[in-house]
Amino acid sequence: MKTKRAYRYRFYPTPAQEVLLAQTFGCVRSAYNTILAWRTQAYESEQKRIDYKEASAQLTVLKKDPARSYLNEVSCVPLQQCLRHQQQAFTNFFEKRAGYPAMKSKKYRQSAEFTASAFTYRDGQLFLAKCKEPLAIRWTKGRETLPSMPSTVTVSRDTAGRYFVSLLCEVETPPLPVSPRTTGIDLGLKALFVTSEGEQIDNPRHTAKYAARLAKAQRALSRKQRGSKNRAKARHKVARLHAKIADTRRDDLHKLSHRLIHENQVVCVESLAVKNMIRYRSQSKAIADTGWGELVRQLEYKAAWTGRQLVKIDRWFPSSKRCSCCGHTLASLPLRVRDWTCPACGSHHDRDLNAAINIKAAGLAVLALGENVRGIGQVPLS
């Protein structure tokens, strides 16, 4: 099966490349924000929806404006691509899959996308449009060349000042051999998740490890005068710590999701509404630090790549309150109660293990029967 995969690497631009990329990021941001303001005004005043073709024509008008002549100093491809992304953002908004498109800020991650006409890849070297030297990419050991010619290249700079390039390639992905193992996982805070076989993966609490250093850096940032160079340096230090936390969390989740997918033919999880759960202020920081949504996202696409199946059960399924032995369901089970005894059959349960066993049973039932009931839930297969 052929799939599209993005290979992401860090690179170190030369001073000339750094200037060109800064100009490209700025032009992309300016074009995106200007066209977005124009589309918003057209909708509010005339109730008119602007499509990509009209937005592209408006970009041509902007480039002819002497006040915006800087738009002609960079490749036109990233400017067109940002309008395509904006069009998709509006499509998601009108179909109620996302909020209204927001303006881009230079304070956050910057990116520019290049299609095949705006870059050249040969002999393991990548040349961008208007750039005479190849990017100094730090390739992964043993993967100095890509499996196929990339269709798009995305260059980005994060808030910590690091540069990355993402190359989208089409590759052949043979499915993994069929495994007889299946599992259900119950996500939590004390343990990141517990499997139906009783394995418990502790919550690494990445933010807590760097809490003291982060607090010190943030206090130093708050004392710096706004607009000063010292404030920019302090802000960069805070951004580097946040990047370290995010990288560590992402690396751990990749290792866990890789193991779960390669060891099990079917993985069953709850479809949690993480964004709603973060609204509870008492636990929002701990929930955000676990990365539940990222873990499920990784399981989803890795299952699709390898021929495995990820089953999501209904979020209202009473996995913790239902006895995995006899099926009796408690009327209520406070979060502080970690162990309980079934009043019907007398079985003693660990809350998380019992939930994982129930999640696995419900997921396999849905997979086999395709039922869509409140107690089990309909499951979209990857």
As annotated, the active-site residues are 186, 270, 352
Whole-angstrom Cα distance, residue 273 to residue 267?
19
* HEC assignment per residue over the chain: CEEEEEEEEEECCCHHHHHHHHHHHHHHHHHHHHHHHHHHHHHHHHCCCCCHHHHHHHHHHHHHCHHHHHHHHCCHHHHHHHHHHHHHHHHHHHCCCCCCCCCCCCCCCEEEEEEHHHEEEECCEEEECCCCCCCCECCCCCCCCCCCCCCEEEEEECCCCCEEEEEEEEEECCCCCCCCCEEEEEECCCEEEEECCCCEEECCCHHHHCHHHHHHHHHHHHHCCCCCHHHHHHHHHHHHHHHHHHHHHHHHHHHHHHHHHHHCCEEEEECCCHHHHCCCCCCHHHHHHHCHHHHHHHHHHHHHHHCCEEEEECCCCCCCCECCCCCCECCCCCCCCCEEECCCCCCEEEHHHHHHHHHHHHHHHHHHHCCCCCCCCCCCCC
Phi/psi at 41 (5° precision): -65, -40
Token pair for 193: 């998740």
Whole-angstrom Cα distance, residue 219 to residue 237?
12
Contact between 256 and 201 under an 8 Å Cβ cutoff? The reply is yes
Q: Which of 331, 313, 330 is nearest to 322 (CA)?
A: 330
